[in-house]
Amino acid sequence: MKVFVRASLVLMGLIGLTATACRKREYITINNLTGRDTTVVHDTIYVRDTVYVDTSGGSSGGGGTGQRPCAPDTAYFVNNVLPILQARCVSCHSSSYAADGVNLSSYAFIMADDDLVTPFSTRNSELYEVITTTDHDDRMPPPPSSALTSSEIATIQRWILQGALNNSCTP
């Protein structure tokens, strides 16, 4: 079983974080040397959602906000990635019009496509490949639209490499 979970997540309960994990199970049939088919189960576990729970009670004493302050080295889906996708991609890849069957309008739609984003791997993420390719026939957004800026690409790259979480923060 492959498990894609960073070691820092072990401490999540101690610092007030909760996570939702989902498992992708694949059954692969291979023919071994004896001529019999063998089925191999391949499990991949992705951590999807991380939520910060403020247990300090805050200054008002009314409990937590469910939000964490923004860390400068973290890419947040709601704060950083989704605005890029909404501004540059959703006109062609939305619920009302999903070009090539790709819908980038929400985290749920993005993660529903197994090939679109692979947490912790830009090499296996179609989204990253199409925004970084130099082939104008494959690049997204396509010409005559301008390519994403290096800053926009770096934000999406950082988000994928950090696990492609459905996270947000309070600026």
Kind plus residue range of the DSSP H or E element containing 41: strand 37-52
Whether the predicted pLDDT of 156 surpasses 90:
yes
Cis amide bond preceding 171, omega within 30? no
At residue 110, what is the residue type?
Answer: I
37 and 110 in contact (C-beta within 8 Å)?
no
pTM recorded for the entire structure: 0.64
The most confident of 30-34, 37-41, 161-165, by mean pLDDT = 161-165
